[in-house]
């Protein structure tokens, strides 16, 4: 279908609509005829797809998540999964359970016997270890932003330790050695891993870890503001702040203004997540990308590949969290 799309000058999604004779598709007659002609010329079995009702194709992916509304992260992963699935003629149905076992069981009762079901993407809003419901024992399943302790299922999670290391090393490479760290709640896996990355970067550069420079926030702007003020009021204040998410970094920028410090001339600030707002702060915020979209794509691609090859997988992927350099980091003033 990729070849047909290139030759016809249309998207692969359009080719899929035409080849599979999807009713209601807004594709012009000329485009439809062009796609079918090229498909036949390439030897694509057009006629085999002419009557899709004759055999049920397994092309439905159930995407189960515990939460949608707490942050934009969930929607980014869903977009990645939906687009990867669509490129391979599959559809994604999303169910948010809010962690309710009864609602989860109801979804399983309705969907696991669906004749079009290909498999399940099981997702959580916070990166954590999960116990996969027994109802999924016989269903191809990929874990997204979560994992099992026995590594019994394929899963993809962000490499949070490496992300924390990358952020801290960026500050160190810019000449900073007294770096404050405003983290989230310690019991959240992402916070614990980002702290490990912060400490590893300091160790790599032979900079002693100073617990006085670490604060535990709650991921909100107000916490970033309050903790940044307390760090900036230390007798020997830090020259840079690493905040474990962009919202707390925005609070830190407000605290710097409160203390009449110019960012990045007097204080460097780096965030984490690369939310849309990060590019619109003053100055635009250097941050670390949380690869939600890419994780969603990987989950869908992996699930489809497993099912079509009729093989199970226990691949554990930790996806890179790359630095997004903007204007909030600079060498400290001498």
Q: What is the pLDDT of residues 169-219, one digit of tens each?
A: 999 999 999 999 999 999 999 999 999 999 999 999 999 999 999 999 999
pLDDT of residue 52: 46
DSSP helix, strand, coil percent of the chain (3-state; round to 5):
45, 20, 40
Q: Which residues of 16-51 are buried (b: 16+ CB within 10 A; e: fewer)?
A: bbbbeeeeeeeeeeebbebbbebbeeeebebeebee
The pair of three-digit structure tokens given for residue 269, joined into one six-digit string: 């600030």
Q: Which regions in the chain score pLDDT beneath 50?
A: 24, 51-55
| Residue 293 confidence (pLDDT) | 95
Instruction: Provide the pLDDT for residue 70.
Output: 67
In this prediction, residue 3 carries a pLDDT of: 86
**Spatial CA neighbour of 140 closest among 56, 55, 62, 57:** 62
Single pTM value for the model: 0.80
- Asked if residue 122 lies in contact with residue 77, where contact means CB atoms within 8 angstroms, the answer is no
Supply the pLDDT for residue 311. Answer: 85
Q: What is the model's pLDDT at position 49?
A: 55
* Other Cβ atoms within 10 Å of 205 Cβ, number: 15
- How many other CB atoms sit within 10 Å of the CB of residue 174? 17
Burial class (CB in 10 A: 0-12, 13-18, 19+), 122: buried
């Amino acid at each position: 279908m990729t070849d047909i799309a290139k030759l016809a000058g249309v998207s692969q999604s359009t080719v899929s609509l035409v080849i599979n004779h999807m009713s209601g598709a807004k594709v012009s007659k000329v485009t439809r005829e062009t796609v079918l002609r090229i498909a036949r010329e390439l030897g694509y079995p057009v006629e085999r797809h002419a009557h899709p009702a004759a055999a049920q194709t397994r092309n439905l992916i159930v995407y189960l998540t515990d939460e949608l509304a707490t942050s934009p992260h969930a929607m980014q992963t869903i977009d990645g999964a939906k687009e990867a699935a669509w490129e391979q003629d599959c559809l994604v149905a999303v169910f948010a359970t809010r962690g309710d076992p009864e609602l989860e069981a109801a979804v399983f009762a309705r969907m696991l016997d669906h004749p079009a079901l290909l498999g399940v993407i099981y997702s959580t809003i916070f990166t954590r270890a999960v116990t996969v419901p027994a109802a999924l024992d016989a269903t191809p399943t990929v874990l997204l932003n979560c994992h099992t302790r026995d590594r019994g299922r394929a899963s993809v999670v962000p490499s949070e330790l490496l992300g924390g290391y990358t952020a801290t090393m960026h500050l160190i490479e810019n000449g900073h050695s007294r770096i404050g760290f405003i983290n989230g709640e310690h019991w959240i896996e992402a916070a614990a891993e980002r702290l490990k990355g912060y400490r590893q970067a300091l160790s790599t550069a032979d900079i002693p870890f100073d617990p006085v420079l670490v604060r535990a926030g709650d991921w909100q702007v107000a916490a970033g503001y309050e903790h940044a003020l307390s760090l900036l009021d230390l007798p020997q204040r830090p020259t840079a702040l690493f905040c474990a998410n962009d919202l707390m970094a925005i609070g830190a920028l407000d605290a710097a203004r409160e203390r009449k410090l110019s960012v990045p001339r007097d204080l460097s600030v780096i965030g984490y997540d690369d939310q849309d707002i990060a590019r619109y702060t003053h100055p635009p915020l250097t941050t670390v990308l949380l690869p939600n979209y890419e994780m969603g794509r990987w989950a869908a691609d992996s699930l489809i590949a497993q099912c079509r090859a009729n093989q199970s997988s226990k691949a554990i992927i930790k996806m890179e969290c790359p630095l997004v350099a903007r204007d909030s980091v600079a060498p400290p003033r001498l």
